[in-house]
Chain A
Amino acid sequence: MTEFFQHLVNGLSLGSVYALIALGYTMVYGVLQLINFAHAEVFMLGAFSGYYLASWLPAFQRGPRFLVVLSLSMAICAGIGVVIERFAYRPLRNSPRLNALITAMGVSMLIQAIGQLPFFMGPSPRFFPPLLPNRSLLSVAGVGVTTLQAVTLGSAVLLMIGLHRLVFHTRFGAAMRAVSFDGRTAGLMGIDANRVIALTFMVGSALAAAAGILVGLSYPRIEPTMGVLLGLKAFVAAVLGGIGNIRGAMVGGMTIGLVEAMAVGYGSSSYRDAVAFGILILVLVFKPSGIFGKAVVEKV
Chain B
Amino acid sequence: MKARVLESWAWILAGLLLVGLASAVLPSASQSYPMYVVGLAGINVILAVSLHIVNGLTGQFSLGHAGFMAVGGYTAALFGTQAISEYKLMYISEPVSDTILFFLATLLGGAAAGLAGFFVGLPSLRLRGDYLAIVTLGFAEIIRVTIENVEILGAATGLVGIPPLTNLFWIFLWALVTVLFAKRLQESTHGRALAAIREDEIAAEAMGIDTTGYKVRAFVASSFFAGVAGALLGYYLTILTPRDFTFLKSVEVVVMVVLGGMGSISGAILAAILLTVLPEALRPLREHTGVDLRMVIYASLLLAMMLLRPRGILGRQEVWAMLRRRRKSPELEVAP
Contact, CB under 8 Å: A98 / B299: no
Contact, CB under 8 Å: B138 / A232: yes
Stretch at the interface among B29-37, B91-99, B121-129: B121-129
By a CB distance below 8 angstroms, the chain A residues around B306 are: 92, 99, 102-103, 106
A116 to B298, alpha carbons, bound, how many Å?
A: 14
Contact, CB under 8 Å: A118 / B141: no
Q: Which of B215-259 contact A (CB under 8 A)?
A: 247, 251, 254, 258
Chain A 30-42: CB-based contact to B (< 8 A → 1; otherwise 0): 0000010000000
Contact of B299 among A113, A236, A288 (CB under 8 A): A113
| CB contact under 8 A between A35 and B130, given known A92-B307, A284-B124 | yes
Chain B residues bordering chain A, tally (CB within 8 A): 39
Contact, CB under 8 Å: B142 / A273: yes
A116 to B251, alpha carbons, bound, how many Å?
A: 17
Contact, CB under 8 Å: A113 / B302: no
Chain B 54-81: CB-based contact to A (< 8 A → 1; otherwise 0): 0000010101000000000000000000
Complex A-B: 9 CB contacts under 8 Å: A97-B129, A98-B262, A99-B306, A109-B295, A116-B295, A117-B296, A229-B141, A232-B137, A273-B145
Contact, CB under 8 Å: A35 / B141: no
A276 to B135, alpha carbons, bound, how many Å?
A: 11
By a CB distance below 8 angstroms, the chain B residues around A118 are: 291
Chain A 99-138: CB-based contact to B (< 8 A → 1; otherwise 0): 1011101110110111011100000000000000000000
A280 to B59, alpha carbons, bound, how many Å?
A: 22
Contact, CB under 8 Å: A103 / B295: no
Of residues B134, B138, B149, which shows the largest number of chain A Cβ atoms within 10 Å of its Cβ?
A: B138
A91 to B305, alpha carbons, bound, how many Å?
A: 13
CB distance from B56 to the nearest CB of A (A): 10
By a CB distance below 8 angstroms, the chain B residues around A109 are: 251, 295, 298-299, 302
A117 to B292, alpha carbons, bound, how many Å?
A: 8
| CB contact under 8 A between A98 and B295, given known A273-B142, A298-B128 | no
Question: Is A281 among interface residues, defined by CB-CB distance under 8 A?
Answer: yes
Contact, CB under 8 Å: A110 / B138: no
CB distance from B52 to the nearest CB of A (A): 14
Of all chain B residues, the one with the shortest Cβ separation from A289 is B127
- 13 further interface pairs, Cβ-Cβ under 8 Å (given A98-B59, A109-B295): A98-B262, A99-B310, A103-B302, A105-B254, A112-B295, A112-B299, A117-B291, A232-B141, A235-B134, A280-B134, A281-B123, A284-B127, A300-B203
Interchain residue pairs A-B with the least CB separation, the first 7: A113-B295, A110-B299, A106-B302, A109-B299, A106-B303, A113-B296, A277-B138
Question: Is B300 among interface residues, defined by CB-CB distance under 8 A?
Answer: yes
Question: Is B133 among interface residues, defined by CB-CB distance under 8 A?
Answer: yes
CB distance from A163 to the nearest CB of B (A): 24
Contact, CB under 8 Å: B258 / A102: yes
CB distance from B58 to the nearest CB of A (A): 11
Chain A 204-233: CB-based contact to B (< 8 A → 1; otherwise 0): 000000000000000000000000110010
A228 to B139, alpha carbons, bound, how many Å?
A: 13
A116 to B59, alpha carbons, bound, how many Å?
A: 32
Contact, CB under 8 Å: A98 / B61: yes
Question: Is A8 among interface residues, defined by CB-CB distance under 8 A?
Answer: no
Question: Is B169 among interface residues, defined by CB-CB distance under 8 A?
Answer: no
Contact, CB under 8 Å: B61 / A101: yes
A280 to B251, alpha carbons, bound, how many Å?
A: 22
CB distance from A274 to the nearest CB of B (A): 6
Question: Is A270 among interface residues, defined by CB-CB distance under 8 A?
Answer: yes
Q: Which of B277-311 contact A (CB under 8 A)?
A: 291, 295-296, 298-300, 302-303, 306-307, 310
Question: Is A140 among interface residues, defined by CB-CB distance under 8 A?
Answer: no
CB distance from A226 to the nearest CB of B (A): 14
Of residues A35, A98, A106, A280, which shows the largest number of chain B Cβ atoms within 10 Å of its Cβ?
A: A106
A226 to B115, alpha carbons, bound, how many Å?
A: 31
Of all chain B residues, the one with the shortest Cβ separation from A277 is B138
Contact, CB under 8 Å: B133 / A101: yes
By a CB distance below 8 angstroms, the chain B residues around A276 are: 138
Contact, CB under 8 Å: A97 / B303: no
A270 to B142, alpha carbons, bound, how many Å?
A: 11
Question: Is B12 among interface residues, defined by CB-CB distance under 8 A?
Answer: no
Of all chain A residues, the one with the shortest Cβ separation from B139 is A277
A106 to B307, alpha carbons, bound, how many Å?
A: 11
A97 to B201, alpha carbons, bound, how many Å?
A: 13
Question: Is B131 among interface residues, defined by CB-CB distance under 8 A?
Answer: yes
By a CB distance below 8 angstroms, the chain A residues around B100 are: none
Of residues B295, B300, B303, which shows the largest number of chain A Cβ atoms within 10 Å of its Cβ?
A: B303
CB distance from A177 to the nearest CB of B (A): 21
Question: Is A59 among interface residues, defined by CB-CB distance under 8 A?
Answer: no
Question: Is B10 among interface residues, defined by CB-CB distance under 8 A?
Answer: no
Question: Is A88 among interface residues, defined by CB-CB distance under 8 A?
Answer: yes
Question: Is A189 among interface residues, defined by CB-CB distance under 8 A?
Answer: no
A276 to B129, alpha carbons, bound, how many Å?
A: 20
Contact, CB under 8 Å: A280 / B303: no
CB distance from A46 to the nearest CB of B (A): 20
A99 to B61, alpha carbons, bound, how many Å?
A: 10
Contact, CB under 8 Å: A277 / B142: yes
Contact of B307 among A103, A112, A273 (CB under 8 A): A103
Chain A 75-98: CB-based contact to B (< 8 A → 1; otherwise 0): 000000000000010011001011
Of all chain A residues, the one with the shortest Cβ separation from B60 is A98
By a CB distance below 8 angstroms, the chain A residues around B291 are: 117-118
Question: Is B202 among interface residues, defined by CB-CB distance under 8 A?
Answer: yes
| CB contact under 8 A between A97 and B134, given known A102-B61, A273-B141 | no
